[in-house]
Amino acid sequence: MAKSCSHWWHAPFYFAMSVTLAVIAITTPIHSSLKNSIPPNNSIKHSLSINATQALRTHGFNVFATLLQFSPELFLSSSESTIFGIQDSAISNLSLPPWAMKQLLQYHTSPSKLPIQELFKKPLGTCLPTLLQHKNTAITTTNVNQRSIEINNVLISHPDVFLEGPISIHGVLGPFFSLDLPGIVQDWDIIESPICDTNNRVVSNMSEPKNRIEWPRIVQVLSSNGFVSFAIGLHSVLDGILKDHANLSSVTIFAPPNLMFVASPSPFLDRIVRFHIVPLKFSYIELASLPEKSSLKTLIPDKDLWITSRVKFSQNLAIHGVEITAPEISSSEKFIIHGISRAFNVEELPSALK
């Protein structure tokens, strides 16, 4: 009885997880890249799911066992599968929206059967495809003598938890990407993964190179600090910014609490967002030290912002006549974000945009 009561906390977690997965199963289809795969027939899939679930529970991977039990189609959607089950302690308190949970599950499943012996045969730096489109994991450490192998720098702690038919399951110590994801924006690409060449070899450690600006982090910070509409706007036009400004080394972002133009035509929204981004990093003290009327170049080549010092009846610094109400919300080596009281006036944009 005592043993049963000691795990009382699992009940609400499993209930919440089952509801989440029910939403996933109803609202989100398996990725289009799997449409042409040949899944196991229903009876075989059901039998494999039951056996795999039991194996995971036997080895203490109760959370992933529950995920597999309630949504086997996310794991067994290809003709073969290798599942990397995450230890309970790493995800038992996890809270993600359904779309992000689906990405996590797909990223920890490879559409091929890879028993531990097969993994040891692969060279260091080999990329492993996942069920998540354009996302790979990679073998980052191998020690045959110690019988240890790491995927994305995460140790496979329980090799060959389950080997049956076209399915293999390994237990890993933690997730293959950071779960420190505050303020995730719907449909944002949250997973950094190795970049691989056509020979399935790693050519770059992570999808967001160290010398590039951390745009995913910027979007997350904006969203988690209440600048949701601007985060959505930035997300919407980011491809164009990356294309036109691939060599940016740092940025200052002036984030308004509301952006009324999120539903505007893309070129118009693109210019408005760029008008709030300066291609250099300025701390609040650095901005305050600039003379009044100093100009700040933006990502619009022909349009600058300017320092307007103090706003009447306020001691806050102003840019383009708009107060900085939340200086330095977040900063890193590559970016800094200042919250402003409102968006810069559309009337200040070049007349061609009106």
Domains in the chain: how many in total?
2
Domain termination residue (choose one: 184, 204, 224): 204
Together in a domain, 316 and 235? yes
For residue 325, give the CATH number of its domain. 2.30.180.10
In this structure, are residues 131 and 77 in contact, taking their beta carbons and an 8 Å threshold? yes
210 part of a folded domain: no
321 part of a folded domain: yes
| Confidence (pLDDT) at 333 | 81
Domain termination residue (choose one: 204, 223, 241): 204
In this structure, are residues 316 and 324 in contact, taking their beta carbons and an 8 Å threshold? yes
- State the Cα–Cα distance between residues 18 and 63, nearest whole angstrom: 11
209 part of a folded domain: no
Which pLDDT tens digits describe the chain residue by residue (354 residues)? 444 444 443 444 454 554 455 445 444 444 444 444 444 456 556 778 899 999 999 999 998 998 888 888 777 778 899 999 998 888 876 666 777 788 888 999 999 999 999 999 999 999 999 998 889 999 988 887 778 899 988 889 999 999 999 999 999 988 888 765 544 444 445 577 888 888 888 875 544 444 468 888 898 889 888 999 999 899 888 888 988 887 788 899 999 999 877 766 678 899 999 999 999 889 998 898 888 888 899 999 888 998 886 555 556 789 988 999 999 999 888 899 999 999 998 664 443 333
Q: Which residue has the tokens 């949504």?
A: 71
- pTM (whole model) above 0.85: no
In this structure, are residues 137 and 86 in contact, taking their beta carbons and an 8 Å threshold? no
12 part of a folded domain: yes
In this structure, are residues 155 and 99 in contact, taking their beta carbons and an 8 Å threshold? no
Together in a domain, 180 and 312? no
Together in a domain, 200 and 225? no
10 Å CB burial of residue 127 (0-12, 13-18, 19+) is buried
Pairing relation of β-strands 277-278 and 251-255?
antiparallel
| Confidence (pLDDT) at 91 | 80
312 part of a folded domain: yes
Domain termination residue (choose one: 204, 233, 266): 204
Cβ neighbours for 50, distance < 8 A, ≥ 6 positions apart: none
Cβ neighbours for 266, distance < 8 A, ≥ 6 positions apart: 236, 237
Range of the domain at 117: 2-204
| Confidence (pLDDT) at 8 | 40
Together in a domain, 260 and 151? no
- State the Cα–Cα distance between residues 234 and 146, nearest whole angstrom: 47
Helix orientation angle between 228-244 and 215-224, rounded to the nearest 10 degrees: 170
- State the Cα–Cα distance between residues 131 and 86, nearest whole angstrom: 16
138 part of a folded domain: yes
- State the Cα–Cα distance between residues 240 and 329, nearest whole angstrom: 25
